[in-house]
Amino acid sequence: MQLEESKVIKNFLSYYETKESTKKNKMGTLQKFFKIILVDPDAYFVDGRPYRQNVEKFWKSMMAEHKHKHLTPLSIRMHLSNIKMFLMRNEIELPTIFWRDLKNNIQGSRKATQDVVPEPKQLREIMAHAGTKEMAMFLISSSTGMRVEELTLLKIEDIDLDADPVMISIRGETTKSGNPRVTFISNEAKEALQKWLKVRDDYIAHVRGKTKGLHNKKKEYSSEIFPFTTGTARDWWNLLLKKANYDQRDPQTGHRLMHLHTLRAYFRTNLVAGGVALDITEALMGHEGYLTKVYRRFSPRQLGEFYKKGVWALQVFEGGGDPKEKRDLQKANEAKDSLINLQAEEIKRISSEKAQITAQELEEMREIIRERRENGRLSPEKVQTDSPGDEEKLIKMLSHPKVREVIFQIREKEYDRLKRNKNQRRLALG
């Protein structure tokens, strides 16, 4: 029986319908697993099975492959995680310590292949052999940090060519995490994209039916900018590497040192070197741990401003640039940073003042107490003894941090209410 026909396998993979690459990854693991344990998947959860022993057998098989350099530590951990999830989806949970012991007995934590991040000069030499479509695709890739899966599903309506810098809205259904995000492209990538869009329809009409590399071959039209498969995109990149003599491979794994995914590393390395904060760079790349924090703090427009600050370091053909322009840009960026720091200090000072009672406020409180005493509005029932100490008691109470916090919250709500009313008046006036 083919694994693809198994109900158990189909049910498990149905959780990953929107992520084709993830489905292939999980399927590869299950093929290895059931080939080792020699059991029909649909009968695996019917009767009690030695699940723990099966996983250990699978682990030992992978360790044997690792010993002969056929499987990396990272891949072994990935396969174990996939099997753990497969069992859990079928209500089989093995002890956490069991999985931890297996992973702890795997030596090494990094990929076996040491990737080479291309330099701008090397990219220029590689791109010298590119056609219009390859030029657009790989300049966008290097200036956005987008994954190839995201790039091949990018639609024309996802790009705002009128924005400065050009903004790309990456839809959640195309991302690894399932969360949408925005990113930006350089001017040279924009020019390359505009050239490709001029010839895109004619090119697709010409090659439709002649190549297996197109997405949605049965559709008459497609709004995808690059309606090609990820395999086709990688083939294009690998061909450019060969033509530029950068097709070197790792002697142990046989993998290319400068594969297509290294363009993401190029983006990360150079944008940070260009002066953009690491957390913002990681968020633009779609790394889940940074997305929420950054998107709470900054708007897309602000992220675009940060991107403009470091985009010069991403330029491939314009990257050499005029050293004087770079120095002037750096000075301008430093001036902006200085202004941002001053604003941050001012906000911190104002926040601190709001959280603490000031001498002026104390005097105002005393004045209110005196006035109420004189008018008979501060009754003995409210303050037990009519003495100077009463004043200090009330001031002490109002100075308490919790009371101050409540007062501050009331003030904030009142400020928000006034602000909303002001905006409503503006809208009413047109």
- Of 309 and 74, more confident: 309
Kindly report the CA angle at 423 between 422 and 424, in degrees rounded to 5?
90
Residues 157 and 259 in one domain: yes
> By the 8 A CB rule, do 211 and 158 touch?
no
Residues 406 and 263 in one domain: no
Beta bridge partners of 183: 168
- Considering only CA atoms, which of 385, 383, 352 is closest in space to residue 368? 383
Residues 274 and 303 in one domain: yes
Asked whether residue 113 is assigned to any structural domain, the reply reads no
Residues 24 and 51 in one domain: yes
Asked whether residue 130 is assigned to any structural domain, the reply reads yes
Q: Which of the residue ranges 281-295, 296-310, 327-341 would you say has the lowest mean pLDDT?
A: 327-341
Residues 284 and 406 in one domain: no
Rounded mean pLDDT of 184-196?
A: 94
Burial class of residue 301, CB neighbours in 10 A (0-12, 13-18, 19+): exposed
Asked whether residue 362 is assigned to any structural domain, the reply reads no
pLDDT of residue 42: 87
Please tell me which of 25-34, 217-226, 353-362, 365-374 the model is most confident about, judged by mean pLDDT.
25-34
Amino acid symbol at 426: R
Asked whether residue 258 is assigned to any structural domain, the reply reads yes
Q: Tell me the pLDDT band of 322, cut-offs 50, 70 and 90.
A: very low
Question: Which CATH number is 268's domain given?
Answer: 1.10.443.10
| CA atoms of 83 and 362, how far apart (whole Å) | 66
pLDDT of residue 294: 78
* Residue whose tokens read 């990456």: 170
Asked whether residue 283 is assigned to any structural domain, the reply reads yes
Find the DSSP H helices in 208-274: 230-243, 262-273
Residues 94 and 128 in one domain: no
Helix H or strand E segment including 411: helix 401-429
Count: domains in the chain: 3
Residues 279 and 167 in one domain: yes
Residues 270 and 168 in one domain: yes
Domain boundary among 104, 133, 148: 104
- Considering only CA atoms, which of 357, 310, 312 is closest in space to residue 337? 310
Angle separating helix axes 278-285 and 288-297, nearest 10 degrees: 110
Residues 181 and 300 in one domain: yes
In angstroms, the first-to-last Cα distance of the chain is: 69
Name the residue range of residue 53's domain.
Answer: 3-104
Q: If DSSP codes are grouped into helix, strand and coil, which group holds residue 224?
A: strand
Residues 39 and 133 in one domain: no
Domain boundary among 288, 321, 354: 321
Helix H or strand E segment including 203: helix 187-207
Residues 141 and 59 in one domain: no
Q: Tell me the pLDDT band of 54, cut-offs 50, 70 and 90.
A: very high
Residues 81 and 217 in one domain: no
Amino acid symbol at 75: S
Rounded mean pLDDT of 112-132?
A: 86
Asked whether residue 75 is assigned to any structural domain, the reply reads yes
- Of 114 and 9, more confident: 9
Asked whether residue 330 is assigned to any structural domain, the reply reads no
Rounded mean pLDDT of 336-365?
A: 60
pLDDT of residue 307: 95
Domain boundary among 305, 321, 337: 321
Asked whether residue 310 is assigned to any structural domain, the reply reads yes
> By the 8 A CB rule, do 129 and 306 touch?
no
- Of 150 and 219, more confident: 150
